Amino acid sequence: MTVLEQISHETMVFMRGRYRLDEIGDGKSELKFRQGKKTIVTIYIHEDKFSFLVIFGKKEREIFERQRDEFSEYVCGYYDSSKTYHDGKWMLIDVTALEQLEDVKKLILIKKKPNRKSFPRENALYAKCGQRCDLCVHYIHTDEQHRAFMETQLNKMWEQTDWSMRCGGCCSDDCYCKDEPCHAKGCASEKGLSGCGECAEFPCIKATAADIRSMIHTEVHYADEITWGILPYVPMQYEDR
């Protein structure tokens, strides 16, 4: 991936892994992460950069001032030069490097404490790619009432309605793709590995069935859609470890 692609991917891993929020895009170049009517961060997409808008109220500014030494001169410069309006200090920060993104993540953590409840690991069943078979809509043993709820969210996320395929899990005799390996299994096999977990690049974007939804986007997706339409299909990124 290019640096900008890495920034895009890491941003979504961080936001979805830490926060349960609605993702409200304008269909053009803007994505807002929101809880109800409150915007936590807005991202503007450009050809050569991403711009993150974070607004700090009085309380957040006090926290930043106490933690200022933990931030780079780059971000401190934005903080000092940003204007303060009646609703807070508006920081529009250009990000072109992963180091800059790390500072922006810390600003977001000041703005809002993480509210994502991790998937429980009890009875977890992992595929060779690291995805959670037991959280998949296709898993044979999924509770039917919960499957119906998942299908509603998946319909919105993926714009399809047929989720009738059933699978017993990646390492079972009832694995749907045991005869025709999925992309992740094929990639691991080509590298002489038994599974993605043995790869130095794991977890990577190739190991997820949701790779086309793993970048900063301008679509509208609500929290439940993200939780059940994306998170179960991304290896080991959204649970306590």
Interval 141-170 mean pLDDT: 92
Residue 32 in this model has a pLDDT that exceeds 90? yes
Read off the pLDDT of residues 87-129 as tens digits, 9 standing for 90 and up: 899 999 999 999 999 999 999 999 999 999 888 888 888 888 8
15, containing H or E segment: helix 3-18
Assign domain 3-111 to a CATH class. alpha beta
The two structure tokens encoding residue 159: 């714009």
pLDDT grade for 43, boundaries at 50, 70 and 90:
very high
The two structure tokens encoding residue 1: 């991936």
| Residue 114, CA atoms < 13 Å, CB-side half-sphere | 13
pLDDT for 157: 87
Listed by start position, the domains of the chain span 3-111, 133-233
The CA distance from 83 to 53, in Å, is 12
pTM given for the model: 0.87
* Least confident residue range of 24-33, 72-81, 150-159: 150-159
Residue 72 in this model has a pLDDT that exceeds 90? yes
The two structure tokens encoding residue 55: 């607004």
The CA distance from 18 to 201, in Å, is 22
pLDDT for 4: 96
| Contact between residue 20 and residue 223 where contact means Cβ atoms under 8 Å apart | yes
Percent over 90 (pLDDT), the chain = 63
